Amino acid sequence: MAIKNPIILLSLVLSIAASCTGPKRILKYDPSIYPQPVDTRTRTITFQTKKTYSFASGVFFDNQFDGARLNRVTSVNDTAYTVLITPENEPINYSPYYAFKVWKNTPGTITVRLTYPPKYHHRYVPKMSSEGMKWHPIDSLNYTVSADTNSALLRVFIPRNDTIWIAAQELKTSKMTAQWVQQKAKNPRVSVQKIGKSTLGRPLWFMNIGTPDDAHKDIIVVLTRQHPPEVSGHLAFDAFIDEMLVENRRNEDFFKQYQLWVFPMMNPDGVDLGHWRHNAGGIDLNRDWAYYHQPETRAVTRFIINRAKKKKANVVLGLDFHSTQHDIYYTFPDSLDRKLRYFNHYWIQGIDESLPPYPSVTEPYDINSPISKAWFLLQFGAESITFEIGDETPRDFIQMKGRNAARELTKLLINNSNRCKRVK
């Protein structure tokens, strides 16, 4: 990776030297610093009715599974049906999520119109599956979005003795994540534990990736699924972690110098309830990183602070994986002082150079609202980046990008650590 700006390189080295001076006292957090404070006290949500909708035509719709979202189904005629999708509460981000199963007694084609309350717009291209595990986007010939974008019409062929799963994004439930965590725990570098419970009592998982002698080693925190439907970001996160666990010299050198703290599902209730955005407390968790009203953010932030104190270690970088309409990195303006300052330039440059040409967008985002990215800087003086993946970014590209992001991060930070040794 070429270093193209010597002035920025000098600033990066000085920032690295500052981050090598040892742990600093963690100050009491002051939410009043935000120009846009957010009220994150618990609000009522509306639970969807779980049921099988049956029609005289022999067609059935079902939402009785984790991650489902289906609020009502009505029949237009024997082959046409209208599905209503509503949010868990309001106000809420415009990201209508849906997931349901449909089957019929005899094979044939039906149409399904997805509808939402008047002010919302269709967002996600439907994904199809025959068993709820392997997914593919609907054929574009069988999918039309209305001119006002308030609904979408699907043509669905249902084979004999088969069920079709239809979802806004692939299902990645809390149980699937728990299985993923336990599978990763077989790696000798990984230890796992439950650090708390969600509003409805689901476990919050923590994975430590490193070596047993990790006291004093700089900490990188990685988290995802604050927002339930943001599965494409979750897929990049999965690939990132998979690459960090590859047995090679680069990773071996990296974990001699750093420890990776991983939170693979911040909002298990929202995921399993099929929420558009919020947790079971009716709150956007990525606005609760100041008051900690919600048990999920409270458990994670306390755990990070207390464990960092115990390890006498610095949190130097926080990465939060999300999804939006297109790939984008949200970073801090260069004017904000922090550990690993300017790291984001070289990391993103390295990722871009490792991939086929594609539209890479970086947007500096100042400290405005109490989100995780701001919390890492204000609590620890750490660099922090929100890693956003497009809803419909090709899944093979997401896999490549997530893995390459891990490779470029380890290469860059190993070099940083070596500079630390020279400045001591």
DSSP 8-state class, residue 264: S
Q: How far apart are CA 185 and CA 262, in angstroms?
A: 12
- CATH number, domain containing residue 182: 3.40.630.10
- End of a domain among 117, 143, 167? 167
Is residue 182 assigned to a domain? yes
- End of a domain among 110, 136, 167? 167
Q: What is the pTM of this model?
A: 0.93
Do 244 and 114 belong together in one domain? no
Do 180 and 213 belong together in one domain? yes
Domain count, the chain: 2
SS3 annotation, 127-181 = EEECCCCCCEECCHHHEEECCCCCEEEEEEEECCCCCEEEECCCCCCHHHHHHHH
Q: How far apart are CA 394 and CA 236, in angstroms?
A: 11
Do 162 and 269 belong together in one domain? no
Do 227 and 157 belong together in one domain? no
Phi, psi of 287 (to 5 degrees): -130, 10
Do 137 and 88 belong together in one domain? yes
Do 116 and 199 belong together in one domain? no
Tell me the residue range of the domain where 151 lies: 52-167
Is residue 1 assigned to a domain? no
Question: Average pLDDT for consecutive 10-residue bins of the chain (424 residues)?
Answer: 42 47 47 80 98 97 98 98 98 96 97 97 98 97 98 96 96 98 97 98 98 93 98 98 98 97 98 98 96 95 95 97 97 95 96 94 90 94 97 98 98 73 36
Phi, psi of 361 (to 5 degrees): -120, 135
Do 360 and 258 belong together in one domain? yes
Do 206 and 181 belong together in one domain? yes
For residue 29, the model assigns a pLDDT of 56
Is residue 42 assigned to a domain? no
Provide the token pair at 397: 């590209």
Do 294 and 338 belong together in one domain? yes
Is residue 82 assigned to a domain? yes
Do 61 and 187 belong together in one domain? no
Do 189 and 99 belong together in one domain? no
- End of a domain among 114, 139, 167? 167
Sole residue written with tokens 């728990």: 178
Q: How many residues does the chain have?
A: 424
Measured in whole angstroms, the distance separating CA 245 from the mean position of its chain's CA atoms is 19
- How would you classify residue 292: left for phi > 0, otherwise alpha for psi between -120 and 50, otherwise beta? left
Do 312 and 195 belong together in one domain? yes
Is residue 208 assigned to a domain? yes
